[in-house]
A and B are shown apart, each in its own frame.
Chain A
Amino acid sequence: ETGVTQSPTHLIKTRGQQVTLRCSSQSGHNTVSWYQQALGQGPQFIFQYYREEENGRGNFPPRFSGLQFPNYSSELNVNALELDDSALYLCASSLEGTRFYGYTFGSGTRLTVV
């Protein structure tokens, strides 16, 4: 059983709408990263949060934003949804200082934008 839980598992939104995806990390995992995986592609890094502060960002526009909370949960918010935002969104968590030992990934949220 994975230690990272994501919700919802599936979501359908209309272009232009806003969406919030949620992730619950393992207790003590103070680093969380979000990845976007388009169909047939490898995951792409969106951003990382460490102790509730953004700690790195990939090539994604500002309409992708996030939050990390003290209870090890986090959110990915996407505004003004576009059709190309349709993808599997993966959350990954790790302990401080151990991220190079491998992140723990959730099962993802599959977002479809119509």
Chain B
Amino acid sequence: AQKVTQAQTEISVVEKEDVTLDCVYETRDTTYYLFWYKQPPSGELVFLIRRNSFDEQNEISGRYSWNFQKSTSSFNFTITASQVVDSAVYFCALSERGAQKLVFGQGTRLTINP
């Protein structure tokens, strides 16, 4: 069965601090895809990144970086030098190959205080 766990329900930091959002997943499939989405107050889910299970290379995109470790089934997301505009709910999601659905974690509400 597929499962995604985001143990951090809420995180609050001061602007310019670095923050890491944790994501742990479970799957029996050897081919799967991991995603991070951002949900601002307006409600839409904004796609941030996709990783497939064969690509463990970490990625950096501006102030965002992702650390994928198959050995610990984790796909963590770090924001460097956080900004108030980063405040949102962040979701980690998993999709097995051939599956039609995304399985989401519970989400982490991130608040960046000025």
Partners in one complex: yes
Bound Cα distance from A100 to B34, whole angstroms: 9
- Given A100-B33, A100-B50, check contact A42 B44 (CB 8 Å): no
Contact B102 A43 (CB under 8 A): yes
B52 at the interface (CB under 8 A from A): yes
Contact residue among B43, B47, B107 (Cβ-Cβ distance under 8 Å from A102): B47
Return the contact of A100 from the options B4, B52, B107 (Cβ within 8 A). Answer: B52
Q: Is the CB of B99 within 8 A of A42?
A: no
Q: Residues of B contacting A48 with CB < 8 Å? A: 100-101
Alpha-carbon gap, A110 to B103, bound state (A): 21
Write out, one digit per residue, whether chain B residues 87-114 have a CB within 8 A of any chain A CB (1) or not (0).
0000101010001111111110000000
Q: Which residues of B contact A (CB under 8 A)?
A: 4, 33, 35, 37, 42-47, 50, 52, 91, 93, 95, 99-107
Known: A56-B99, A100-B95. A43 touches B45 (CB 8 A): yes
Q: How far is the CB of B47 from chain A (nearest CB, A)?
A: 4
> Within 8 Å CB of B101, what residues of A?
33, 45, 48, 56, 58
A48-B95 Cα distance, complex, nearest whole Å: 14
A103 within 8 A of B: yes
Let me know if B43 and A107 touch, CB within 8 A.
Answer: yes
Complex interface: chain B residues within 8 A of A66 (CB): none
Chain A interface size, as a band, is 20 to 34
Annotate A87-111 by CB proximity to B: 1 below 8 A, 0 otherwise: 0101010000001111111111010
| Contact yes or no, B100 A42, CB < 8 A | no
A42 and B50 within 8 A (CB)? no
A107 adjacent to B50 (CB under 8 Å): no
Residue of A nearest to B93 (CB): A42
User: What is the bound-complex CA distance between A41 and B52, given in angstroms?
Assistant: 25
Residues of B within 8 Å of A101, CB to CB, are: 50
Cβ contacts under 8 Å, A103 to chain B: 47, 102
CB distance from A2 to the nearest CB of B (A): 6
